Amino acid sequence: MPTVFVVANQKGGIGKSTTATNLAGIIGRNHKTLLIDADPQGNSTSTYNAQIEDVATLYDVIIDSDKLPISEAIQHTENGDIVASDPLLVKAEKMLDGELEGFYRLKDALDNLEGYEYIVIDTAPSLNIILYNCLIAADKVIIPVTADSYAMQGIQQLYDTIMSVKRRQNKDLSIAGLLLVRYSGRSNLERETRDNIENIAQKMDTKLFKTVIRECVKTKEAQEAKKLLIDYAPKCNTCLDYLDFVKELKIK
Ligand SMILES: Nc1ncnc2c1ncn2[C@@H]1O[C@H](COP(=O)(O)OP(=O)(O)O)[C@@H](O)[C@H]1O
Ligand SMILES: [Mg+2]
């Protein structure tokens, strides 16, 4: 069975997609890895240069009544294997409404997938039924946070959601940790916030990862060039930090 990581935080623009693509890209060098884009905005899909027209996407796997096997929605790109998202995913709530197994669609799909050691799921900034699908299918949640004064806004809600899924649908789910991303290290406020985040992580019975992901302009450039950072700028701070992060996850 693969290890399934979900990258989640219901705030937008935090660094979820950047974390998911770097994680999948780096792990993917040594292990058979699948990235799943569960955000209708499709930033990971775009970075991986995957298609959304005339191809099967996550939508077909979990929303469509035909329920295509997920293996048929995998695109093999230069950056790695991905199940692309589709803007139609925004309709998920309505389409799965009243479906008794609506929360288990992704889990069922992954239970029937073979050949992958790691799966990384990028999520949308919301606590909707798609996120539940991801949490129910997952082993570990990685929560990226930034060190600004609003950083921890909404984290309690995310925590409550994760704990509720753990109690009811997926007892093996755990929070791998909070990951401080887009860190400039320039301000005192950032350093103070970091201590604060550490305290909150402890209260959530998890940890703040030791690795801190620093900012680098190459990150955005790589995304625009539709390349993995590890290929585009392997020596930039952000890339070096994500490499350390994968080591901290004890993945070789
Ligand atoms: N380490 C980093 N260095 C520089 N820019 C970053 C870094 N991480 C994320 N960004 C930028 O911040 C923005 C938001 O990141 P993104 O991963 O798309 O967040 P989310 O998926 O949470 O909405 C993007 O424009 C991305 O390029
Ligand atoms: Mg995103």
Task: Looking at the CA of residue 39, tell me the nearest atom of ligand 1.
Answer: 21
Residue-wise pLDDT tens digits, 39-80: 999 999 999 999 999 999 999 999 876 779 999 999 999 999
Contacts of 175 by beta carbon, 8 Å cutoff, 6+ apart: 140, 141, 143, 159, 162, 204, 205, 206
User: Residue 87 C-alpha to ligand 2 middle, in angstroms?
Assistant: 13
Residue-wise pLDDT tens digits, 14-46: 999 999 999 999 999 999 999 999 999 999 999
- The pLDDT > 70 percentage for the chain reads 99
CA torsion angle 123 124 125 130 (round to 10): -90
Banded pLDDT at 190 (limits 50, 70, 90)? confident
pLDDT on residue 118: 98
Say which CATH class 3-210 falls into.
Answer: alpha beta
Q: For atom 14 of ligand 1, which residue has the closest CA? A: 13
Q: For atom 16 of ligand 1, which residue has the closest CA? A: 15
Residues contacting ligand 1 via CB (< 6 Å): 12-18, 43, 181-182, 213, 215-216, 219-220, 223, 238
- How far, in Å, CA of 76 to CA of 80, rounded? 6
pLDDT on residue 95: 87
User: Residue 13 C-alpha to ligand 1 middle, in angstroms?
Assistant: 6
In the chain, where the domains are located: 3-210
DSSP 199-221: HHHHHTTS-EEEEEEE--HHHHH
Residue-wise pLDDT tens digits, 114-148: 999 999 999 999 999 999 999 999 999 999 999 88
pLDDT on residue 151: 74
